Structure 1
């Protein structure tokens, strides 16, 4: 019976802690009114969480019935022009702050918040000890002229890094469960050992990449609400992972597998990767977006989306899937301006530039003549066939444009019967959209400008008409 009472007491205490939610009492000495705001990080972005009015004594209470996610938060002062940061742990979310706006670092006091005592101590350390050395270092960098100056700079930089890392290591050793320690560990760079094989020039890169995530606790959801995890993701996938869809897909899956132990970290990492590869400016990276959607969204792992949102993401991926780099171009059985049949696959050419355009589109009025100039100047002699496909506008507007800009030598096509489904098959949601196909009508490039297309065709010519693998 005693054991049952203890279990019930634990459950009750947990319920009471959750029921307490969060309560942050703020006193601003220089204010006698106005509104203060509580905001939080989500990666590099910042979002409002709550707000409260200051009374005549400069006191405000920001509170809510449910605990907030742990992470780096900010108190924005009235007018939102100034702010100071604080840490919010997942458990201890009832505390008070007395802030003197004449010096928000040296004169701010936290009560009942050990996490923020650590954070405030770190900020004072940065202000009092690191900042003066940094200023000295910058001054020497501006005046360095000799080898001796450079040597002195390196010594000073090494000393600065060591001083900072020693402080962080001390916090981690003494307070291993704190959010500040989790942040410090995630910020620590892998230390590359001596290369056992001097002839291996890739050792440092391979070691660094292999140990990049060693100190990042992917089970700590508090890191989601800091800029640190996003910075780590960005650096890893832009500087360390080869920019090829197959390589990126493998790396995405391996990292996501490590986040399965924490649903919030899993959600953030899957979302970040999906968003960044859907919006990537690098050609071909949309294949990563399709891979992620098929593996995690179609499979039902995107628990944070409702049915409507999920269907939009899946629909977007399915609109891209047929026109990925390396795929065979979808068939186009349409008609020319005389209503005679036009077929993509019966158009024989070493290369085919397929242009979806609209004679009423302002951007098309600039780009289509430029494409024609490049075709007549060099592409035609290299075996390029131009197929222009009208997406909007009347037949008269289309034909007048062709005549005005003398688009001779092109195959001009349209779909008056609306049978080709070209928008979905070629992901045409704006114009112009340009595809480059090889002799077998495989997609080798897409959505490129004239200069990029010119370079791409030249490179293919140098390789005998094949795309780089």
Structure 2
């Protein structure tokens, strides 16, 4: 019995110790400070968040939580006037910061965190260069362009040397990851090859350079480092967002999925980054403005959510995403839709397959929908203009029970295409086409 009690006591002590190790405590002392309180915050992608408040005790402030561990990243403390000072958080989360009111960064001394201490060492070493940039900016108009460019280049080279030296000495430090992430990849020189006609093929050369750029876009960004998520947007998110919005903008679905898989694989060492990438890529193609790219969403759900790799999602969320993806898969480009049949105003039935036109447009709309009342007439103008030229027909399906308003709208706008009442149909088109709101084309 005594052994059992001792064992239980050991378990309790271990749990208590684990709880203590998970807390953070950041003491900030600012000599001559007149601030009544400071806020603790962090960056996340392209936003900032305040997470804690500390009240002044004669210039001493303490941010502390017993039940919370901070995720790695760049944090900051700020007064209510917006003045702020950044610091780096990694595994060491009990630290003391001491400085003076007139120079928070320059006079900062750190105890308890090697990560933050090295960060401030770098910032303080970089301060003379910042002042040199300011001096050059003010003196620019009084200098010749060659003179200004020469001075600017000299400062830039010293800055690059400082960065490279820090990275070489501290390759695993979060600041090294940050400094590298802000460095754009440089496409190497490539020869212009001759085409079949014996002339230089500049198109092939440009395509080869573009392919290299895509393949190496993330070379300087350590996707296994979750701390990059909590940095200013210029460090990680701006480049990441640019890759999907611009570099991948006109790529095929298959190409996008290849790059998505490669990028997610690079983040396997970081649960937080892996989670972000799967969620972000899936969601951005849920709302993609590029026609056909909705297939990326469907495939991401099938590959990562349906297979259980998105283990942070609840069973109900997984079920909801999978159900939506299955609906969307029915209506992807290249899929043949079922033969929808509905009656018109005179109870004459029409179906898609009996419309012997080269192009068919299927519209779900409501006469009571404000957006529909604006967009449907525009679509009809397009229809009138190109009906004969492209052998085009439209089946416009009413979605609401107010058929009187539907009849009136058709008459008022003189809609001379195939108008049918979707309240009576040969299958549940709402479910099949995932018609949640209107208009849907």
TM range (shorter): 0.7 to 0.9
Give the Å deviation of 1:306: 1.1
Q: Does 1:281 align with 2:289?
A: yes
Contact 2:38/2:77 (8 A) holds in 1: yes
Structure 2 Cα separation of the partners of residues 400 and 373 of structure 1:
18
Which residue of 240, 243, 253 corresponds with 1:233? 240
Q: Which residue of 1 aligns with 2:116?
A: 116
Contact 1:334/1:420 (8 A) holds in 2: no
Contact 2:340/2:427 (8 A) holds in 1: yes
Contact 1:86/1:119 (8 A) holds in 2: yes
Q: Which runs of 5+ in 1 are unaligned?
A: 1-7, 435-469
Question: Alpha carbons of 1:50 and 1:185: their partners in 2 closer, same or farther (altered >3 Å)?
Answer: same
Q: Which residue of 2 aligns with 1:81?
A: 82
Q: Deviations over 1:102-146 (max 9, x none)?
A: 443334443333322332244345543146436736975x899xx
Q: Which residue of 2 aligns with 1:354?
A: 362
Q: Deviations over 1:384-426 (max 9, x none)?
A: 1122111125110000000111112x10012223653222322
Question: Alpha carbons of 1:65 and 1:365: their partners in 2 closer, same or farther (altered >3 Å)?
Answer: closer
Which residue of 313, 328, 332 corresponds with 1:320? 328
* 362-371 vs 43-52, greater mean Cα deviation: 43-52
Contact 2:40/2:53 (8 A) holds in 1: yes
Contact 1:51/1:62 (8 A) holds in 2: no
Q: Which residue of 1 aligns with 2:6?
A: none
Which residue of 431, 434, 439 corresponds with 1:424? 431
Partner SS, residue 319 of structure 1 = helix
Question: Alpha carbons of 1:12 and 1:251: their partners in 2 closer, same or farther (altered >3 Å)?
Answer: same
TM-score (norm 1): 0.79
Give the Å deviation of 1:17: 9.1
Structure 2 Cα separation of the partners of residues 219 and 52 of structure 1:
33
Question: Alpha carbons of 1:240 and 1:99: their partners in 2 closer, same or farther (altered >3 Å)?
Answer: same
Q: Which residue of 2 aligns with 1:208?
A: 213
Q: Which residue of 2 aligns with 1:337?
A: 345
Question: Alpha carbons of 1:420 and 1:299: their partners in 2 closer, same or farther (altered >3 Å)?
Answer: same
Q: Does 1:310 align with 2:318?
A: yes
Structure 2 Cα separation of the partners of residues 43 and 186 of structure 1:
14
Matches within 5 A, 1:63-462: 63-77=65-79, 79=80, 81-89=82-90, 91-130=91-130, 132-133=132-133, 136=136, 149=145, 158-197=153-192, 199=200, 200-226=205-231, 227=233, 228-241=235-248, 242-408=250-416, 410-417=417-424, 420-434=427-441
Q: Which runs of 5+ in 2 are unaligned?
A: 1-9, 194-199
Q: Deviations over 1:187-239 (max 9, x none)?
A: 33334333244653334333333333333323222223224343342233334
Partner SS, residue 400 of structure 2 = coil
* 124-133 vs 378-387, greater mean Cα deviation: 124-133
Matches within 5 A, 1:37-76: 37-76=39-78
Give the Å deviation of 1:26: 1.9
Question: Alpha carbons of 1:95 and 1:339: their partners in 2 closer, same or farther (altered >3 Å)?
Answer: same
Question: Alpha carbons of 1:208 and 1:372: their partners in 2 closer, same or farther (altered >3 Å)?
Answer: closer
Contact 2:95/2:112 (8 A) holds in 1: yes
Structure 2 Cα separation of the partners of residues 326 and 156 of structure 1:
59
Structure 2 Cα separation of the partners of residues 23 and 109 of structure 1:
16
Structure 2 Cα separation of the partners of residues 50 and 349 of structure 1:
64
Structure 1 Cα separation of the partners of residues 387 and 147 of structure 2:
57
Contact 1:32/1:58 (8 A) holds in 2: no
Structure 2 Cα separation of the partners of residues 421 and 138 of structure 1:
70
Q: Deviations over 1:415-445 (max 9, x none)?
A: 22365322232232222222xxxxxxxxxxx
Structure 2 Cα separation of the partners of residues 377 and 237 of structure 1:
36
Partner SS, residue 299 of structure 1 = coil
Give the Å deviation of 1:85: 1.7
Give the Å deviation of 1:35: 4.1
Give the Å deviation of 1:82: 3.4
Partner SS, residue 59 of structure 1 = strand
Structure 2 Cα separation of the partners of residues 306 and 223 of structure 1:
26
Give the Å deviation of 1:310: 1.9
